[in-house]
Chains A and B, each alone.
Chain A
Amino acid sequence: MAKEVGKDRFGDFYIDGGKVRKRREWRGVADTLYDYSRWLGIMMTLGKFVMKPRNVKAMFRYRWMANYLAVPMMVDRHTQGLRGEYLRICHEEQDLVINDVAQLLDNLFRGDRRIGNDTEFSKKVVLVDENEMTAVMMGFPTLKCLSRETPSTYVSVLLNQHAAEHYIDVAQEFGLAGDVCPMPEAEAGVSIDDDAPVLGACAIQCNTTCDGSLLGNGVISRRLELEDGIPVFQLAAPLRHREDDVQEYAAQEIRNAIAFIEKHTGETWDWKAYFECARRVNYATRCRQEWLEMNRTPYPQVFGSNLALYTETNYMAICGRIPAFERADRRISKLAQQAYAKKKMAAKEYRHRAIIWGVQSHYYMDFLVWLLNCWGIVPLTDMLSMVSTRELVEEDTPENRETAIYDMAWLTENMIMRNRTHGGYKVLLDELWEFTEQFNADMVILWEHMSCKALTGMHGMFEERARELGVNLVWVTHDLFDPRIISRQGVRDQINNYMRTVMREEPLDPSLEVLHDEESW
């Protein structure tokens, strides 16, 4: 039980083969009371959620809802070892995301034909993919932009590592290939298993990242259109997103998507609302750049899962539409500046500065916290946080309205993941080494998502370039949503082996090196 950073043996909190941990951390009086107060806040959010009978009904209808029992534990995983400003930044983000997901669930069940069946509300709902920029919804303030895949698969795997296994198996039982990305496969599995809420005036699907994603969308849209009578628009954003000659086509796709939403909801595009959202997107971008600027110095402040999880949510799912995220950006920046001024550190020792690249394992997102606590490796930034920094036009003029269409197209083309896994050699490979230099990193940890064809082809090129530059390159193979293929310990072992055999180092916290958490949430 320690107040000081790095004094605890975090491995001692785990129960061998157990689902949950023995107890919560003692972080000193002030930080423990702070963490306790935020835990109470989370319990209140969950309490308010289950007060509504329709949400309880949904809990007993949808298998993936069981994962939400693990919400407080997800927060505990990401706050492991954090003190002071780092702890507060983490809670600012996590608690807000929890609140946002609770609202998303509440809205889904309100309109769901099986649960709340509020038909008037449902007419104002536009369904979107989980892995999709919500830029085309920035000018529809009276509509609800809801994703069914976010709570059923994406968030579920963050809560419980085994969450997607059932749905992956269902999809494969019905003959879907076993070697596609488990994320779209699980999303398709939810649809096949008749476990997705049914609501909405229409839906927008995007050719997000890969072949698996297209496969999953096909299965889902078939059910939506042919059985549920919900029309679906396929927003096909160009993959060569850095090329000038594709931008006009991309802009036309945005115009078409907006027209489709207007047609099926009866609403009209609101430029005032759009430009207000654009201003908030720009503010979020400036904050993110400020945090990344700090991470280039010896005293990084917003990094690891504090950077990764929040950026994914704020950039892609929120896209300036929810003012609470702007307030959170402001508070996070203030906390980061305070900690930076005091030259604070999140662990007792920073041994290596790492760029995390590739598509991360969702069942092990707290890997970034583990890297820091176990080996003193600072995850300065990750591939999915290195998204567009282009400033959007904010002033409502006739010329800017035309530019804004191109801005939305740019955001959609440059959504998280696809902006790096597609778009050519430069965005995936060359820019990694530019970031390595800019961040003064001596290590690159390369997630190798074994079902992602977009990255596997470049394995040799990454190795060749790392050798030339003298950067320590550590491959970490995983199967994104399926820990039965490579377990959390399987992930950790790849780092442990590299650190012991190549770097010849001993861990900062040896109790974290081997954890029997295969049954854990």
Chain B
Amino acid sequence: MNKLLKLLGKLLLILLGFFVVTFTVYIFNLDMKLTAMIEPFLLRHYDRIERDRHL
């Protein structure tokens, strides 16, 4: 019984931790702030790709 309670407690803590972290990312828009920082690197990468550009 104790083991089961401990396991449930751990599970709840993990879920709570997941919620706190993801909700913080969500409400402060951290996901978009991060991807906005990635975009310029990607654009520079695309500029370097060799392409067969023609009509």
Enumerate chain A interface residues (CB-CB to B < 8 A): 19-24, 26, 32, 36, 39-40, 43, 59-61, 63, 66, 69-70, 72-73, 76, 170, 174-175, 192-195, 219, 222, 521
Contact = CB atoms under 8 A, between A and B. Distances in A.
Contact of A21 (B32, B42, B46): B32
Contacts of A21: 29, 32
B33 A20 contact: yes
B53 interface: yes
23 contacts: A20-B33, A22-B29, A23-B29, A24-B26, A26-B27, A39-B26, A40-B26, A59-B42, A60-B45, A61-B49, A69-B38, A69-B42, A72-B31, A73-B32, A174-B53, A174-B54, A175-B55, A192-B55, A193-B51, A193-B53, A194-B51, A194-B52, A195-B51
Contacts of B46: 63, 66
Given A20-B33, A36-B23, A63-B46, A222 B39 contact: no
Most chain A CB inside 10 Å of its own CB: which residue of B28, B36, B43: B36
Contacts of A20: 29, 32-33, 36
A61 B27 CA distance: 32
Interface residues of B, number: 23
Contacts of A40: 22, 26
B15 to A, nearest CB: 13
B36 A192 contact: no
A193 B28 CA distance: 37
B2 interface: no
A72 B38 CA distance: 15
A192 B39 CA distance: 23
Interface of B: 22-23, 26-29, 31-33, 35-36, 38-39, 42-43, 45-46, 49, 51-55
A59 B26 CA distance: 24
Closest 9 CB pairs of A and B: A69-B35, A20-B32, A194-B51, A63-B46, A19-B36, A66-B42, A194-B52, A20-B36, A36-B26
A92 to B, nearest CB: 19
Nearest to A170: B53
A222 B55 CA distance: 8
A118 to B, nearest CB: 22
A381 to B, nearest CB: 31
Contacts of A23: 27-29
B35 to A, nearest CB: 4
B45 to A, nearest CB: 6
Most chain B CB inside 10 Å of its own CB: which residue of A23, A43, A521: A23
B36 to A, nearest CB: 4
A251 B29 CA distance: 51
B52 to A, nearest CB: 5
A195 to B, nearest CB: 7
Contacts of A59: 42
Nearest to A219: B55
Given A192-B53, A193-B53, A194-B51, A70 B27 contact: no
Contacts of B55: 174-175, 192, 219, 222
Nearest to A218: B55
A26 B27 CA distance: 8
Nearest to B43: A66
Nearest to A46: B31
Contacts of B43: 63, 66
A175 B43 CA distance: 24
Given A36-B26, A60-B45, A66-B42, A192 B54 contact: yes
Contacts of B33: 20
A361 B28 CA distance: 29
Nearest to B35: A69
A220 to B, nearest CB: 11
Nearest to B22: A40
Most chain A CB inside 10 Å of its own CB: which residue of B28, B51, B55: B55
Contacts of B39: 19, 66, 69
Contacts of B32: 20-21, 70, 72-73, 76
Contacts of A43: 31
A194 B52 CA distance: 6
A258 B49 CA distance: 38
Contacts of B45: 60
A219 B54 CA distance: 10
Nearest to A25: B27
A174 B51 CA distance: 15
Contacts of A194: 51-53
Nearest to B23: A36
Contact of B27 (A24, A60, A170, A222): A24
A167 B33 CA distance: 26
Contacts of A22: 29
